[in-house]
Homo-oligomer: A and B are copies of this chain.
Amino acid sequence: MPETPGPGTDRLMELLSVSLGAYYGDFTAAAAAEGLTASQGKTLSVLRRGPSAMRALATTLACDASNMTGIIDRLEKRALVRREPSPTDRRVKTVLLTAEGERTVDAIRAGMHTTLAGLEALPDADRGALEDLLERVFTAPARGGPTP
C-alpha cells in the first residue's frame, strides 16, 4: 500500500476534476434556465427522492442548518416546495416538493444536454462498466479498518 499516490492517480484526479467541472457547469446552466441557482437546483434534486426534515436536508447537502432556512424560503416563495409540520415531533418541519417542483426538477435534468449526450453516446456495456467503477470508487464506504 503505497503512501505516495502514483502518477496514475494523478491523472485520474485531474480527469475527475475536469469531469466534475463539466457536469457541474451543465447542471448550473440547466438550473439557471429554470431561473434557479445551483444550490436551489441541488436542493430540489435531493427532495425528488422524498420529503425531508430541514436538518436532514442540511446534512445531505453538507451545509449548515441555518442556510436551509433561506434556501427553502426562496423555493417556497416560488411554490416549488412546501413546509409541513411533523405530526410526531412538533419541532420538526418536513419539506416536500410541490407538483410544480417535481416538474422543475425533471426540466433541469432534461436540460443537461452535454452530459446526457455524453452518456447516450456510450454503448450499453461501457455504461454498465462506468456504473460499476463509480460505485466502487465513491459509494464504497472506504472501509478497510481505520486502525482502532
Contacts and interface: CB of A to CB of B under 8 A. Distances in A.
Interface string A1-30: 110010011011101111111111101100
Contacts of A126: 133, 136
Contact of A18 (B21, B133, B139): B139
Interface string A92-129: 00000000000000000100101111111110101111
Contacts of A122: 133, 136-137
Contacts of A112: 13
Contact of A16 (B28, B114, B115): B115
B121 A140 contact: yes
A45 interface: yes
A50 to B, nearest CB: 14
Contacts of A2: 120
A12 B137 contact: no
A135 interface: yes
Contacts of A119: 5, 9, 12-13, 137
A142 to B, nearest CB: 5
A87 interface: no
Contact of A129 (B15, B19, B129, B142): B129
B8 A130 contact: no
A67 to B, nearest CB: 14
Contacts of A22: 138-139
Interface string A54-74: 000000001000000000000
